[in-house]
Amino acid sequence: MEILFYIAGVLAILSTVMVIAVRNAVHALLYLIVSLLSISVIFFILGAPFIAALEVIVYAGAIMVLFVFVIMMLYVDSSNSNEKNIFIKPKTWIGPSIIALILMAEMLYMLLGEGYHPMPHQIISPAAVGKLMFTKYALVVDLAGFLLTAGIVGAYHLGQKERKILHRYLTDKNENL
Amino acid sequence: MNIPMEYGLLLAVILFCIGLAGLLIRRNIIFMLLCIEIMLNAAGVAFVVAGAAWGQAEGQVMFIFILAMAAAEVSVGLALIIQLFKQTGSLDVTNANKMKG
Amino acid sequence: MKELLWLIVTLPFAGALILAFGGRKFPHAVSAIIGVGSVSLSAILTLLVGFEFLGDTTPFLQVAWQWFDVYGLSPDIAFRLDTVSLIFIFIITFVGALIHLYSAEFMWKDEGFVRFFVFMNLFIGLMLILVLADNLLLLYLGWEGVGLCSYLLIGYWYKDPKNGYAARKAFIVTRIGDAALAVSFYILFMTFNTLNIQDILTAAPGTWSLGSGIAMATAFLLLGGAVGKSAQLPLQTWLPDAMAAPSPVSALLHAATMVTAGVYLIARTHVLFEIAPTAQHTVAIIGAATLIIAGMSALYQHDIKKVLAYSTISQIGYMFLALGLGAWSAALFHFMIHAFFKALLFLGAGAVISVMRDEHNMFKMGGLWKKLPIIFWTFLIASASLSALPLITAGYYSKDKIIWLAFASDKGSVGLWLAAIVGAFITALYTFRMVFLTFFGKPHAEPTHRPGWMITIPLMVLAFFSFAGGFIELPQNMGNLTLVSDFVEKTLPVATLSVLQPFTELIFQIISSIVAIGAVFLAYILFFNKPFPAAEPQRNAVQRFFFKGWDFDLLYDKVIVTPMIFLAMINKKDIIDQFYTGLACITRQLNALLSATQNGQLRWYAMVVAAGAIIILTIIFFP
């Protein structure tokens, strides 16, 4: 089981790196799905089968499908945006990478500084999760419901056709687009 | 099974930083949204790992909330992407700089 | 009845308010009734209050409410009636009401009829506040309010930029005096910790020694305020220009309100002048100098209203002379009589001007005495009074008293007396020059119409007072009637005389009578029925100098205005402004700096967020 954890972790990291490295958005999406699946494996190993299932169903399933739809709608060409040679010129990626590395170094420093704490292998059942959610966190569930409703309404509003939303102070330079 | 909690958190940190690096590097807005998903997911991983380490269900509950939030965020974000594409004709986020000070 | 004192002040304000808010909707007649009626009611009330007050002349204080209370300064809205303020409110309301009645006809066809009455009522109301005020702050309110109203009324025909210029000039020049006045109030408050006039007058002699520096400074600053308002040397330049106002305004301004405020102020604060003898002497000298300077200028005017304007300056000069001599009652007596005949002269001149199609030039009039008999006879009475023709005119009794006191008072001197007597000669000369030019000689133009009853009745009433008003105060060798002096001296001190022989007084009376009659005779020789060209005469340099009022305008222009403009040119980029400009510049730079971070690039923002996270983590974990 332990070896499975490491394999899945390495796989998740590699595929996530590929997500940000590839040019083609559909490829990136597929890599992300791989990453999500391997994380789902890790969840399973950590004793959270319910979350592992949700990860696959909601994340890798529903959310990624949304992405696929949008990419299908919009994707003209992978060279659509002018980031063709993004990794050829170091100028574009070296600064952000350094920032991310510093952040990672800091977090690792504080994470690994105090020794290791082995985790007990203990499966937490969906029933326990559900019970906690609808008792202690019932209010948060309501709020999440509001958030989703707002998301739906907002997405509907923004996605309407024939709506050119320009700010009234902006010039209508893009009128002809 | 004897996996230290730190390894799980290590994974979360690495994933988060990869997501952050991607967010900063990429210009394609779809990739940026994907990177945000990676980062959210990394945060979820951290919660679940911590929950498992303490043997409590709270971590998983938090993951579910993150999931809901991610779903809402993605739906609005994708709608915005569609609008952006309609307005500027491209997915390059550098073109969407009308709100400079 | 004394309790109705507040109503006297309130009525003109009420009239002004009603007219200001409802005036457009009323017909002319209603507006006129409200405007004239409110002031007339005030006048009637003043008479009623006055009659009761004559029976018991203890000062009467009516506190309306406390105005405010800030750090020990707690002035009341309070009116104080004593003999001095009674004389003033009587003149203000009575003459004011007559002038209002006159204006109702005079301004009838003017498009700003209602506006005119609003301003006039306000003028009267504020002047009443000025003279009734119990404390200096309320007095100052009236003082500034009167200045404001004079500005509004002088610039009443605002469509002509010249009138606006005259109004601004009046406002700014009097403002110089007002600043001095305000400073003197600060000193008084700092010293006595109150602005109540009576408290200050009571405390001042004990606090300040005779002739001490601070007493001098205060008295001189008060004098500065009075000089500005009363158009005395050196701030007299605004008054001739103020003739841009309609004639009733001039009458009100010169007779009842505004210019007499300075006289009132000095009389009211007489204690402060008595402990500063130099300042009081300066008052006398200013008065004497002004009366001669203004009289000389009046001799050379061709505009009938300008003659009267300079004549007012000159007559106020007499009042200042009397104040400087400590002859308070003589000053107030002359103020009273002057109010009657000067109002009459202005109203008469206004009537003449209006029937002559707005012709101001006396040389273009002539021969009017047959055609406008009422105006002529009333004007003649007023002129005689102004010239102080002996025995029969009120002006003789008031002015002769001042001339006599200029010599006989312990503060008097031969020099002051000479100035006064020369001034009297000049006064009679220019007055009858005006009369002869306007009403006699060959007519140059026909009057268009005869004035109606609303104009003639005020003229006749005022003529009666110009004639008979003098008989309430007679010199000691001619009946020795001292109604006014007794009345005034209940509030103000008695003038002390150094020369007491009745015989000497008789000689001086004869001298001044001869001077007045001689001046009239000279005017008769020079101006009666003489053919003068109607056009403005060519003037040589000396005549020009007098015509321009001794070129004070030019002097101020050269000494004050030009250097100020020059300094302003040098300091175009104001040094003090530089600081604020610099501040604005720095702000703008900072703005540019910060707005550069708002470049609209989402990646940049994300980068900043990440950098911020790094910084926070660093601070937390690596302290």
Lowest mean pLDDT among A80-94, C157-171, C506-520, C534-548: A80-94
User: pLDDT digit string (tens) for C401-440?
Assistant: 888 888 877 777 888 888 888 888 888 888 888 888 888 7
pLDDT grade for A40, boundaries at 50, 70 and 90 = very high
Task: Output the pLDDT for position B11.
Answer: 92
Task: Output the pLDDT for position A176.
Answer: 47
Question: How are the residues of chain A apportioned to helix, strand and coil, as percentages rounded to the nearest 5?
Answer: 70, 0, 30
Yes or no: say if C87 and C331 are a contact pair by the CB < 8 Å rule: no
Question: With b meaning 16 or more CB within 10 Å and e meaning fewer, what string describes B2-21?
Answer: ebebbbbbbbbbbbbbbbbb
Residue C52 above 90 pLDDT?
A: no
Yes or no: say if C192 and C199 are a contact pair by the CB < 8 Å rule: yes
Element (H, E) at C123: helix C113-132
Judging contacts by C-beta atoms under 8 Å, the chain C residues touching residue A94 are none
Average confidence (pLDDT) over C17-29: 81
Q: Which residue is closest to B26 within chain C, CA to CA?
A: C603
Task: Output the pLDDT for position A15.
Answer: 94
Query: Between these two residues, C65 and A176, which has the higher pLDDT value?
Result: C65
The answer to whether the peptide bond before residue C234 is cis (omega within 30 degrees of 0) is yes
B-contacting chains (≥3 CB pairs under 8 Å):
A, C
pLDDT, mean over chain A: 82
3.30.70.270, 3.90.220.20, 1.20.120.1200, 3.30.390.30: CATH of A1-122:
1.20.120.1200
- With vertex at residue C328, the alpha carbon angle to CA C324 and CA C331, rounded to the nearest 5 degrees, is 80
CATH number of the structural domain B29-89: 1.10.287.3510
Q: Which residue is closest to B99 within chain C, CA to CA?
A: C600
B-contacting residues in A 90-149 (Cβ below 8 Å): 92-93, 95-97, 99-101, 103-104, 107-108, 111-112, 116-122, 124, 128-129, 131-133, 137, 140, 144, 147-148
Other residues' Cβ atoms within 10 Å of the Cβ of residue C457: 15
A-contacting chains (≥3 CB pairs under 8 Å):
B, C
Average confidence (pLDDT) over C91-118: 85
Radius of gyration, CA atoms only, chain A: 21
Residue C249: partners with Cβ closer than 8 Å, 6 or more residues away: C120, C153, C154, C156
Question: With b meaning 16 or more CB within 10 Å and e meaning fewer, what string describes A28-47?
Answer: bbbbbbbbbbbbbbbbbbbb
Q: Tell me, yes or no, if C594 comes closer than 8 A to chain B by beta carbon.
A: yes
Is the pTM of the predicted complex or chain greater than 0.80?
no
- With vertex at residue C399, the alpha carbon angle to CA C396 and CA C402, rounded to the nearest 5 degrees, is 140
Identity (one letter) of the amino acid at C151? Y
Task: Give residue B7's Cα distance to chain centre.
Answer: 20
Q: What are phi and psi of C77, to 5 degrees?
A: -85, 95
* Residue matched to tokens 């952050």: B20
User: Collapsing DSSP states into helix, strand and coil, what is residue C61?
Assistant: strand
Q: Look at phi and psi of residue C367 and say left if phi exceeds 0, alpha if psi is from -120 to 50, else beta.
A: left
Yes or no: say if C270 and C330 are a contact pair by the CB < 8 Å rule: no
Residue C544 above 80 pLDDT?
A: no
Radius of gyration, CA atoms only, chain C: 29
Residue A77 above 60 pLDDT?
A: no
Average confidence (pLDDT) over C320-325: 87
pLDDT grade for A165, boundaries at 50, 70 and 90 = low
CA-nearest of C148, C146, C222 to C183 is C222
Task: Output the pLDDT for position C424.
Answer: 87
pLDDT grade for C502, boundaries at 50, 70 and 90 = low
B88 to A132: CB separation less than 8 angstroms, yes or no: no
User: Collapsing DSSP states into helix, strand and coil, what is residue C82?
Assistant: coil
Task: Output the pLDDT for position A84.
Answer: 56
pLDDT grade for A177, boundaries at 50, 70 and 90 = very low
Q: How far is Cα C553 from Cα C559, in angstroms, rounded to an integer?
A: 10
Judging contacts by C-beta atoms under 8 Å, the chain A residues touching residue C621 are 106, 109-110
- Decide: residue A127, CB within 10 A, 0-12 exposed, 13-18 middle, 19+ buried: exposed
C-contacting residues in B 5-64 (Cβ below 8 Å): 20, 23-24, 27, 29, 32
Q: Tell me, yes or no, if C593 comes closer than 8 A to chain B by beta carbon.
A: no
Q: Which residue is closest to B28 within chain A, CA to CA?
A: A81
Other residues' Cβ atoms within 10 Å of the Cβ of residue A168: 4
Q: B97 to chain A, minimum CA–CA distance in Å?
A: 12
Q: A108 to chain C, minimum CA–CA distance in Å?
A: 12
Judging contacts by C-beta atoms under 8 Å, the chain A residues touching residue B24 are 95-97, 99-100
Q: Which residue is closest to A92 within chain C, CA to CA?
A: C603
Token duo for residue C618: 């660093």
pLDDT grade for B68, boundaries at 50, 70 and 90 = very high
Yes or no: say if C78 and C61 are a contact pair by the CB < 8 Å rule: yes
CA distances from A30 to A49, B28, C423 (A): 23, 17, 114
Q: Which residue is closest to A104 within chain B, CA to CA?
A: B17
Q: How far is Cα C519 from Cα C436, in angstroms, rounded to an integer?
A: 13
Which ipTM was obtained for this model?
0.90
B93 to C596: CB separation less than 8 angstroms, yes or no: no
Q: Tell me, yes or no, if B90 comes closer than 8 A to chain A by beta carbon.
A: yes
C-contacting chains (≥3 CB pairs under 8 Å):
A, B
Q: B23 to chain C, minimum CA–CA distance in Å?
A: 7
Task: Give residue C443's Cα distance to chain centre.
Answer: 35
Q: Which of B73, B78, B81 to mutate to test the interface with A (most CBs of A within 10 A)?
A: B78
pLDDT, mean over chain C: 83
Break chain A into its structural domains and give their ranges. 1-122, 125-177
Task: Output the pLDDT for position B64.
Answer: 92
Q: Which of A83, A98, A103, A111 to mutate to test the interface with C (most CBs of C within 10 A)?
A: A103
pLDDT grade for A8, boundaries at 50, 70 and 90 = very high
Q: A34 to chain B, minimum CA–CA distance in Å?
A: 12
User: pLDDT digit string (tens) for C355-411?
Assistant: 877 777 777 777 777 777 888 888 888 888 888 887 777 788 888 888 888 887 777
Lowest mean pLDDT among A103-107, C280-284, C537-541: C537-541
Q: Give start and end residues of each alpha helix (H) in C193-246.
A: 197-207, 213-229, 238-241
The DSSP annotation for A12-63 comes to HHHHHHHHHH-S-HHHHHHHHHHHHHHHHHHHHHTT-HHHHHHIIIIIIIII
Task: Output the pLDDT for position C279.
Answer: 86
> What residues pair up with C66 in beta bridges, in sequence order?
C76
B15 to A12: CB separation less than 8 angstroms, yes or no: yes
User: pLDDT digit string (tens) for B38-60?
Assistant: 999 999 999 999 998 888 889 99
Lowest mean pLDDT among C8-12, C230-234, C613-617: C230-234
